[in-house]
Amino acid sequence: MIRVVLVDDHELVRTGFRMILAQQPGIEIVGEAADGEDGLALIRASKPDVAIVDVHMPRLSGIELTERVRKHKLKTGIVILTMVSEAPFPKRLIEAGASGYLTKGGAADELVRAVRQVADGKRYLSPDIAAALALEQIDGRGDSAFDALTTRELDVALMLSRGDGMQDIAAHLKLSAKTVATYKYRLFEKLGIDNTIALANLARRHGLLDEPT
């Protein structure tokens, strides 16, 4: 039996995935979480075979969650959900160590296929993402602007883009407000922007932030 947890801050997304996977033989949903912190705690407690994780979530991003799972050598395979379509796929997502990558516009059978392959110790890339990566390799274009950021800069960028305040970011990352301000200045400079609205728009175009609801 493949044990799966769902980590996404949209209840409708979790409900849809649960309905799809619950009908499949040999797959069991053992838990759900609505943010990254609770998702990480759920993975540690239930030790599932696969966790389906959204990139953009409150408190802890999907990238941060994946990096912590790998750092602590947990055996759960992470399948990252992104909004990527034609946008350049940020290599930082691959570097985080996830085993699978899906776009939210994928078909139901693709979700099932990804879960089974990752549970079997293999990697899975959705056709959209695989095509984007292949094009980047062929013509050398389309690198994501976020590839230039360090992991910590990307953490700050994701939190800023979803509207978190400087003090909240400092408390969450256990950094001083001055250090967070330095990261903000550096990432703005690297991305060629000067405000958080531009950052949110850029993150959305690169599949790191959901469309506004």
User: Range of 45's domain?
Assistant: 2-139
Cα separation values, 12 from 7, 9, 131, 209, Å? 12, 9, 28, 17
Residues 34 and 103 grouped into a single domain: yes
Residues 65 and 97 grouped into a single domain: yes
Q: What is the CATH number of the domain that holds 90?
A: 3.40.50.2300
Q: What is the CATH number of the domain that holds 155?
A: 1.10.10.10
Is 164's pLDDT higher than 90?
no
Which segments of 41-144 are extended strands (E)?
50-54, 77-82, 100-103, 124-125
Q: Which of 91, 106, 139 is the last residue of a domain?
A: 139
One-letter amino acid identity for 95? E
Neighbouring C-alpha atoms within 13 Å toward the C-beta of 5: 24
Residues 61 and 155 grouped into a single domain: no
Band (pLDDT 50/70/90 cuts) for residue 207 is: low
Q: What is the mean pLDDT of residues 191-210?
A: 84
Residues 30 and 128 grouped into a single domain: yes
In this structure, is residue 64 part of a structural domain?
yes
Rg value, the chain, Cα: 17
Residues in the chain: 213
In this structure, is residue 13 part of a structural domain?
yes
The pTM (predicted TM-score) of the whole model is: 0.74
Q: Which residue, among 120, 118, 129, has the nearest Cα to 55 in the 3D structure?
A: 129
Residues 19 and 98 grouped into a single domain: yes
Band (pLDDT 50/70/90 cuts) for residue 126 is: confident
Rounded CA-CA distance 157/65 in Å is: 15
Residue listed under structure tokens 């408390």: 171
